């Protein structure tokens, strides 16, 4: 169970049910005990009235019915008595053809015996001594209406309890949702971070979230600072190496090596490869710019600037164009896509005569990015060499300067496919097929 809302709801239900049952049963028990004490007082008064109604007659004890309540005369009225003395007993006419059993011990008996007509009785037995005889008087009252009332009270209580529980759960759900809104806002801001729409989270959050937000902002600042330092270090290193490389290339062409043509050739080849690699890394840093980490690639916003930068680098004699659906955002990191497309377009611009075109096509299963030019292209029998392990045609002195090393690494990381073909102008066409995320 991973839902905080569900955990809180189940916890609240458990607590409410347990506490509600305990309180309800305790309240009903206390109320019933109090009511029985009240009824006991009435039964005791009836018992004393019956004791007063016992008088001496010609044949001994007799019951003066003038002092009896009319309820004792009406059959099954709900009020009954039984008087035991010597070896005989009297009972009220309200019992009709039934008898009230003699209780073993005096006092109130709330075990509710079955009485006339299926009535449940509350019985009080009291022992007296009158006119020289031991007398036991048991008076009873129908307890069925009280039991029925308690049953209705329980039913009503259960209904009201369920309604109250549902209301509390509804209010608790609203309260939890309101309390979790800052977390939802934080999630939205993290999504904006991923899309490059912000650089930090808002620090105006509840006290409980302040440490988390502060830690995330600190991590973001540290990451951004590390990226800037790495980019600056790369640029500084590249510029620092350009001068020594130029000196070494000049020395490799000097007259001192005329007597060693093979050594001159090897030195020039290796130094030119280092210079090409260095220029490529500097171009990567220039094309990437100051992109925010995790920003998505917005074709409408990024492609015009990328093509304009490449036009400035390679000259305005090239016609650079792109085709992409309006408003398309590619679900990959902006810097990585700038690096990928920058390398492909930069290579195409180097070998194109006049035309370079970038196409971005959205498919049901992913995206297809193709870069084609009108240059010499790569012969079909040499295309397989580009993908051989450790072989990069851009590192060869002869052939095509194709920067596919970094492109291949990025495409492999994303689980995509890199395909070389021939463009409609006869040049090279590079297709990058990427699955949907």
Q: Count how many residues are written for the chain.
A: 437
Burial (CB < 10 A; 0-12, 13-18, 19+), residue 255, is exposed
Strand, helix or coil at 72? helix
Instruction: Give the number of other CB atoms < 10 A from CB of residue 164.
Output: 12
Q: How far is CA 365 from the centre of its chain?
A: 28
pLDDT at position 370 is 93
Handedness of CA 283, 287, 293, 299 (dihedral sign): negative
pLDDT, one tens digit for every residue, the chain (437 residues): 467 777 777 777 888 788 878 887 788 788 778 888 888 888 888 888 888 888 877 777 777 777 778 888 888 888 888 888 877 788 888 888 777 777 888 888 876 666 666 778 888 888 888 877 888 988 888 888 877 887 888 788 888 888 888 888 888 888 888 887 888 888 888 877 766 667 788 878 788 778 888 888 888 888 777 777 777 777 777 767 777 777 777 777 777 777 777 887 788 778 777 877 777 666 655 545 444 555 678 888 888 988 888 888 887 788 889 999 888 888 887 778 888 888 888 888 888 888 999 999 988 888 999 999 988 888 877 777 765 544 444 444 333 444 566 788 788 878 888 888 888 888 889 999 988 76
């Amino acid at each position: 169970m991973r839902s905080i809302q569900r955990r809180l709801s189940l916890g609240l239900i458990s607590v409410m049910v347990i506490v509600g049952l305990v309180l309800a049963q305790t309240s009903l028990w206390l109320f019933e005990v109090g009511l029985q004490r009240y009824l006991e007082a009435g039964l005791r008064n009836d018992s004393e009235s019956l004791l007063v109604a016992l008088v001496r007659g010609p044949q001994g004890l007799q019951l003066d019915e003038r002092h009896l309540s009319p309820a004792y005369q009406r059959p099954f009225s709900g009020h009954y008595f039984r008087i035991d003395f010597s070896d005989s007993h009297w009972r009220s006419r309200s019992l009709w053809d039934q008898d009230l059993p003699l209780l073993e011990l005096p006092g109130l008996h709330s075990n509710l015996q079955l009485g006339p007509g299926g009535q449940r009785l509350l019985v009080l037995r009291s022992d007296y001594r009158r006119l020289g005889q031991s007398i036991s008087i048991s008076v009873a009252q129908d307890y069925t209406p009280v039991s029925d009332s308690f049953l209705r009270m329980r039913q009503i209580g259960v209904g009201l309890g369920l309604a109250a529980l549902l209301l509390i759960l509804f209010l608790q759900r609203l309260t939890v949702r309101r309390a979790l809104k800052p977390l939802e806002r934080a999630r939205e801001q993290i999504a904006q971070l991923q899309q490059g729409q912000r650089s930090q989270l808002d620090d105006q959050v509840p006290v409980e979230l302040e440490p988390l937000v502060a830690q995330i902002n600190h991590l973001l600042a540290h990451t951004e600072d590390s990226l800037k330092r790495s980019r600056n270090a790369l640029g500084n290193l590249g510029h620092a190496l350009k001068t020594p490389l130029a000196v070494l290339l000049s020395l490799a062409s000097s007259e001192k090596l005329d007597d060693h043509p093979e050594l001159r050739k090897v030195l020039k080849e290796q130094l030119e490869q280092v210079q090409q690699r260095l220029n490529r890394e500097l171009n990567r840093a220039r094309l990437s710019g100051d992109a925010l980490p995790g920003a998505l690639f917005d074709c409408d916003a990024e492609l015009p600037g990328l093509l304009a930068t490449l036009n400035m680098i390679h000259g305005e004699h090239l016609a650079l164009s792109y085709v992409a659906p309006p408003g398309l955002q590619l679900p990959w990191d902006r810097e990585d896509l700038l690096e990928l497309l920058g390398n492909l377009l930069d290579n195409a611009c180097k070998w194109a005569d006049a035309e370079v075109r970038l196409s971005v096509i959205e498919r049901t299963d992913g995206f297809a990015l193709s870069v084609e030019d009108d240059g010499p292209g790569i012969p079909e029998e040499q295309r397989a060499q580009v993908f051989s392990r450790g072989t990069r045609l851009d590192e060869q002195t002869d052939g095509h300067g194709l920067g596919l090393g970094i492109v291949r690494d990025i495409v492999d990381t994303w689980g995509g496919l890199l395909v070389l073909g021939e463009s409609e102008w006869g040049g090279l066409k590079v297709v990058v097929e990427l699955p949907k995320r």
